[in-house]
Chains A and B, each alone.
Chain A
Amino acid sequence: MFRKREIKKLLQEKPFVESQETNTSSDIPLDSVEFLKIIQQKLHYSADFKTIKISNLTIIYIDTQVNIKELNQNIIGHLKNVQVYTEKNVITEIAVSEIQKSYSMKNGMLSILKGSVGIHIDQTSTLLLINIPTDNNRSLSKPENESQVVGPQIGFNESLATNISLIRRYITTTDLHNERFVIGSRTNTEVSLLYIDGLASQAMVTRFKEKIKSIDVDGLLDSAVLNQLISDNALSIFPQMLLTERPDRICDGLLNGKLAILVEGSTMAILCPLSFIEFFESREDYNVRWPIASFIRLLRIIAMLLSVFFTALYVAALSFHYEVIPQALLVPLGESRSRVPFPPLFEALLLEFIIELLREAGARLPTKVGQTMGIVGGIVIGTAAVQAGFTSNILIIIVALSALASFTTPSYTMGSLIRIIRFPLLFLAGFWGFYGIMFGFCIILIHLLRLTTLESPYLAPFYPPRFADWLDSIVRLPIKFTFRRPQLARPQNRNKYNPDKVK
C-alpha cells in the first residue's frame, strides 16, 4: 500500500499549496471516461459512490461521507456560473477553503474516502480535492468515567479536530507542536502527537516518533490499542501510559513536559511518560487546597493497598496465622466462620467472584436496569448468602470494602488492574499464608522496579529517589513549594515559575 511518509506529507499540506509531485509523475489518466472507469474498479462499484458530469467536469464523491448540502450550495451551485471549465476557473469559483490538487490516484482515493469531493477536468492529469466531510460528531459532554467535583466538566469526543481545539483552548501558545501520523494500513487512522516545544525533552519526542513509525498494524480503532502497542513492556499488567478523557488532565501533562497522543475516533487521549504514583493523582487535587488534596491522595494510596491486600490477609490469617487475630475478634470471626462449610480461600474466592460478577454486570447493563443490580447485590448476596451459610458476614464487609476502595483510583485502567491483581495474591495467601503474600508483594515490587515508561523509571520519584518530586506525589504541598516540574519527563525547563513571587 502507501508509504507512510508519503501520506504524512500529504496530510500536512495546506490548502491551495501545490503538491510536491510533478506533472510527469502523475498517474491520473487524461481521459475522463477512462479515469471514471479506473476509479469505479478501485472502489469495486461501491453503491454509495456517485458521479456528476457537468460538461467536461467529472465530480466524484461518496455520498455517505460528504456534506451534501455544502456540495450543492458551494460547489455545484457555484460551478453553474462558470462558462469555461479550466482548472483555475474552478478553483476560484468554488467557495470552500480546503482545496487540494493531487497527481496521484492513491492519494486522491484516500481523500475521497475520508470525505472529499474530487473534480476531474477532462484532458488534465490532475484531480482537485475539496474537503467537505459530513459533520456527524457527538456534541461535547461530561467525562463520565472521570468525574470531578471541582474543575471543568468537559470531556473529549470522537473527533480529533474537536479534541485538539479543546486543548488549544487551554494552551494558547505557538510552541504547542502538533504532528500528524497515519496508522493502520486499512483504517488509515490519523494520530496527533502534541507537545510543548521548550518543555518536552527532544530525546523523548524523537524516541516516541520512532515508536509510532515502527507500528505496522492493519487497523487502529482506539487510542487504548495504540497505548498497548507503544508501551515499553506490552506484556505487563501495569498501564504505563495514562488514558484520559479530560482535556485539563492532558494540558496539565503537557505543561509538565509530557507528550500527548490523540487518535481520530477515540474519546481517550494518551499521556506519557507517567509514573506509577501519577495514576493515583487527579486534576482535582490541584483545584482544592493542599491539606485536602494531600488527604485525598493518602486516602487513595491506602485504599489501593487495602483493596489489594485486605482479602488476602484475611484468608492468610484464618488459614495459617490464627495468632495474629486480635482477641476481641476471635469469637465473632470464629462464630461466623463456623457456619461456613468451605475453607477460607474458597470462601473468599467465591465472594470475590460474585462481587466481580456484580461489577461487570453493572457496567454492561443499560442504566435503567442497572439500578436493579444494587438490589440484587445488596439483598441476594449480602443477606441471603450469609444466612444460607455460604460466606461469613465479616468477609462480606472485607470484600465490599476492598471493592469500594478499588473505585477510588482516578484512572480506570489502574482501577481494573487492582481488581485483577488481588486474585493471585489470594491464591498465594490461601496456599502459603503470609509468606505467600510477601512473595507476591516482592514479585510485584520487582516487576514495578523493572518497568519503564517511555524509558523513564516507573517507580520514580521513589526509586530512583528524587526528593524534590516527593513534594507532589503521595502528598501535595502548597503551590509555592511545587514549582519544579517532575524529573520523570526530563523537561527542558525545570521551573514552572519563580517560587519567590508565589505566596
Chain B
Amino acid sequence: MKRLKIYIIILWIFILLTGCADRKILEDIGLITTVGYDLAGNNNIRSTMVVLQIDPEAVRNIDVISSEGLTSKGGRLNANLKTSKELQSGQLRVALYNEEIAKRGIKPYVDTLARDPSISDLTYLAIVEGSTKDLLKHEYHNISDVGQQLFNQIEQLTDKEQISNATLQEVQQSYYSDGIDPILPILKRDGELIRVTGNAVMRNDKIVGKLSPDDSFYVKLIRDQYHAGSIELPFEMKDENGKEQKVTTVIDMIVSSRDLSLKDKNIPQFDLQLNIKARLLEIQGDVDLTIPTNVKQLEKALNNKIKKEAKKVITYSQERNSDIFGFGEVYRSSVRHSDLTKGKWHEKYKNMTYTMKVDFRLVRTGITE
C-alpha cells in the first residue's frame, strides 16, 4: 500500500508539473543566428539580427531585423515587436561588434551572451570595420544566408589557423585571466564579399590596435603553443654567387611549439624559443633545392625573417600595451605571490624585455623541378 501511494504521488507530480517546462517548439520561434551591435545616437545600441526563417514558401531563408535599445537585450525586445515569432538566441553562431563599440569595451555585450545558458560557448566573436548593420543587411549577390556565410567563413579560417580562435569561451578566458589579452578577427564588407582584414589587438575588452593577417601569424606562433598555419614570406637571400636576390616562399607549419620562460622577474625578462618544423609549399626565386647547402641557406634566411617579423609584432603589442601573446601567464605561473592583476601586468608589460631564438627546420621541400 505504501508503495502504491508513492507511485500515485509520482504520477500526480508528473501530471501537475508538465506545465512547468518552458516549451519552445522549433517552428514557433525565430532563430537568431548572427547578431551585430552598432552605436546609435542617444547612447543607444543598435542590434542587427539575422533571423532564420523557417517557411518553405518564403523567397529568402533569412530575415534581417534592426532595432535600437539602451542594452543589447533591450534591442532584442524591441526587435521582437517586428516579428511574428518569438526571437530566441539559442542558435547564435556569430556575434559582431562594431569598431566604435569595441573602442568603448565589449565586455557588457559579451557578458550577456555568456550569461545565457542557451547560447553556445563556441559562438564566434568578431570586430567589424564599419557598421554591422551594413554588413548584415546588404543583399549580397552570391550569399543567400549571410549568417551561415559568416559562420562558415570564420570556422574555416579558424580551422586553417589563419585567424586566432575567438570563440566566446576563448575570449572570456583571455579576458578574465590576468596575463593575457583577447584577440579577435576583424571583418569588413568588401563589395559583394566579406573579408577578414586582420586581427584586433585588445587591451582588456577594448580595441587598441590592428594587425594584418600576416602579422597575426606570429601572434599565433607565440600564443597558441602547438600549431600555426601557413604563411607567405618574402625575403632576400644570397645565392651561390653571393648575390642578393628576392625570394618568396610559402611555408606550412607541420609542428610549431614555443618555449617561454621567465629569466628575470624584476624587469621582467623572458627567454623565448620557437621551434618550427615546416614544409615548403611554393618558392619563387632561383634556388636549387637539390643542393643541400642551398636548403641550409634557405632555412637560415627564413629563420632570420621569422625572427625579425616576430620581434616587430611584439614591439607593436608593447607599444599598444596589450599582451596578446600571454607572457603574463608565464610570469604569473613562475612568480610566487605575484598578486598579478590586469593593471599591474600592463604596467610591467611595457618594460618587458626578451631574448628570442628561432629553430626553424624545413622537413620537406617536396618535389622540385
Contacting pair A318 B26 (CB below 8 A): yes
Q: Which A residues touch B91, using CB under 8 A?
A: 322-323, 325, 327, 330
The reply to whether the CB of B61 lies closer than 8 angstroms to some CB of chain A is yes
Q: Mark A415-457, 1 if CB is under 8 A from B, else 0.
A: 0000000000000000111011000000000000000000000
A334 and B26 in contact (CB under 8 A), knowing A323-B118, A339-B56?
yes
The reply to whether the CB of B369 lies closer than 8 angstroms to some CB of chain A is no
Chain B residues touching A, majority SS: loop
The reply to whether the CB of B21 lies closer than 8 angstroms to some CB of chain A is yes
Contacting pair B25 A338 (CB below 8 A): no
The reply to whether the CB of B93 lies closer than 8 angstroms to some CB of chain A is yes
Contacting pair A334 B90 (CB below 8 A): no
The reply to whether the CB of A151 lies closer than 8 angstroms to some CB of chain B is no
Taking the closest CB of chain A, its distance from the CB of B301, in whole angstroms, is: 44
The reply to whether the CB of B52 lies closer than 8 angstroms to some CB of chain A is yes
Contacting pair A343 B25 (CB below 8 A): yes
The reply to whether the CB of A356 lies closer than 8 angstroms to some CB of chain B is no
Question: Which residues, 300 to 349 on A, are CB-close (under 8 Å) to B?
Answer: 317-323, 325, 327, 330-331, 333-335, 337-339, 343-344
The reply to whether the CB of B22 lies closer than 8 angstroms to some CB of chain A is yes
Taking the closest CB of chain B, its distance from the CB of A311, in whole angstroms, is: 16
The reply to whether the CB of B151 lies closer than 8 angstroms to some CB of chain A is yes
Query: Complex: how many Å from CA A74 to CA B52?
Result: 90
Taking the closest CB of chain B, its distance from the CB of A467, in whole angstroms, is: 35
Contacting pair A319 B56 (CB below 8 A): no
Q: Mark B38-68, 1 if CB is under 8 A from A, else 0.
A: 0000000000000010111000010000000
Query: Complex: how many Å from CA A325 to CA B54?
Result: 14
Q: Which B residues touch A335, using CB under 8 A?
A: 54-56
Pick the contact of A322 from B17, B55, B56, B90 — CB < 8 Å?
B90
Q: Which A residues touch B27, using CB under 8 A?
A: 334, 337-338
Interface size class of A (residues with CB under 8 A): 20 to 34
Contacting pair B21 A435 (CB below 8 A): yes
Taking the closest CB of chain B, its distance from the CB of A440, in whole angstroms, is: 10
A327 and B151 in contact (CB under 8 A), knowing A335-B54, A339-B56, A431-B21?
yes
Pick the contact of A338 from B33, B54, B119 — CB < 8 Å?
B54
Among A320, A322, A330, residue most surrounded by chain B Cβ atoms (within 10 Å): A322
Query: Complex: how many Å from CA A335 to CA B18?
Result: 27
Work out how many contacts link A and B, with CB atoms closer than 8 A: 67
Taking the closest CB of chain B, its distance from the CB of A65, in whole angstroms, is: 48
Q: Which A residues touch B31, using CB under 8 A?
A: 322, 330
Q: Which B residues touch A319, using CB under 8 A?
A: 23-26
Select from chain B the residue with minimum beta-carbon distance to A334. B54
Query: Complex: how many Å from CA A330 to CA B62?
Result: 12
Contacting pair A322 B24 (CB below 8 A): yes
Q: Which A residues touch B118, using CB under 8 A?
A: 323
Chain A residues touching B, majority SS: helix
Query: Complex: how many Å from CA A335 to CA B27?
Result: 8
Taking the closest CB of chain B, its distance from the CB of A290, in whole angstroms, is: 38
Q: Which B residues touch A343, using CB under 8 A?
A: 25
The reply to whether the CB of B120 lies closer than 8 angstroms to some CB of chain A is yes
Taking the closest CB of chain B, its distance from the CB of A488, in whole angstroms, is: 28
Select from chain A the residue with minimum beta-carbon distance to B92. A323
Query: Complex: how many Å from CA A325 to CA B52?
Result: 13
Pick the contact of B26 from A327, A337, A339 — CB < 8 Å?
A337
Query: Complex: how many Å from CA A433 to CA B27?
Result: 16
Pick the contact of A331 from B18, B24, B52, B88 — CB < 8 Å?
B52
The reply to whether the CB of B177 lies closer than 8 angstroms to some CB of chain A is no
Contacting pair B88 A322 (CB below 8 A): yes
The reply to whether the CB of B231 lies closer than 8 angstroms to some CB of chain A is no
Q: Which B residues touch A327, using CB under 8 A?
A: 33, 91, 93, 148, 151
A322 and B26 in contact (CB under 8 A), knowing A327-B93, A330-B91?
yes
Q: Which A residues touch B25, using CB under 8 A?
A: 318-319, 343-344
The reply to whether the CB of B306 lies closer than 8 angstroms to some CB of chain A is no
Query: Complex: how many Å from CA A206 to CA B241?
Result: 99
The reply to whether the CB of B340 lies closer than 8 angstroms to some CB of chain A is no
Select from chain A the residue with minimum beta-carbon distance to B56. A335
The reply to whether the CB of B194 lies closer than 8 angstroms to some CB of chain A is no
Contacting pair B148 A320 (CB below 8 A): no
Among B18, B54, B56, B148, residue most surrounded by chain A Cβ atoms (within 10 Å): B54
Q: Which A residues touch B280, using CB under 8 A?
A: none
Contacting pair A323 B26 (CB below 8 A): no
Query: Complex: how many Å from CA A334 to CA B56?
Result: 9
The reply to whether the CB of B237 lies closer than 8 angstroms to some CB of chain A is no
Select from chain A the residue with minimum beta-carbon distance to B25. A319
Among B14, B22, B55, B119, residue most surrounded by chain A Cβ atoms (within 10 Å): B14
Taking the closest CB of chain B, its distance from the CB of A275, in whole angstroms, is: 25
Contacting pair A333 B18 (CB below 8 A): no
Select from chain A the residue with minimum beta-carbon distance to B89. A323
Q: Which B residues touch A344, using CB under 8 A?
A: 25-26
Contacting pair B90 A432 (CB below 8 A): no
Pick the contact of B55 from A321, A338, A432 — CB < 8 Å?
A338
Q: Which A residues touch B283, using CB under 8 A?
A: none
Select from chain A the residue with minimum beta-carbon distance to B15. A431
Select from chain A the residue with minimum beta-carbon distance to B118. A323
Query: Complex: how many Å from CA A62 to CA B151?
Result: 86
The reply to whether the CB of B352 lies closer than 8 angstroms to some CB of chain A is no
A320 and B24 in contact (CB under 8 A), knowing A330-B31, A432-B18?
yes
Q: Which B residues touch A431, using CB under 8 A?
A: 14, 17-18, 21
Select from chain A the residue with minimum beta-carbon distance to B54. A334
Q: Which A residues touch B18, using CB under 8 A?
A: 431-432
Select from chain A the residue with minimum beta-carbon distance to B22. A320
A433 and B21 in contact (CB under 8 A), knowing A322-B26, A322-B91, A330-B31?
yes
Contacting pair A432 B26 (CB below 8 A): no
Taking the closest CB of chain B, its distance from the CB of A387, in whole angstroms, is: 13
Contacting pair B56 A338 (CB below 8 A): yes
Query: Complex: how many Å from CA A436 to CA B17?
Result: 11
Q: Could you list 8 examples of A-B contacts with CB < 8 Å?
A: A322-B31, A323-B119, A327-B33, A334-B54, A337-B26, A344-B26, A431-B14, A432-B18
List 20 additional A-B contacts (Cβ < 8 Å) besides A317-B26, A338-B56.
A319-B24, A320-B24, A321-B24, A322-B29, A322-B90, A323-B90, A323-B91, A325-B26, A325-B91, A327-B93, A330-B52, A330-B91, A331-B61, A334-B26, A334-B27, A335-B56, A337-B27, A337-B54, A344-B26, A432-B21
| Top-5 shortest CB links A-B | A334-B54, A323-B90, A431-B18, A338-B27, A337-B27
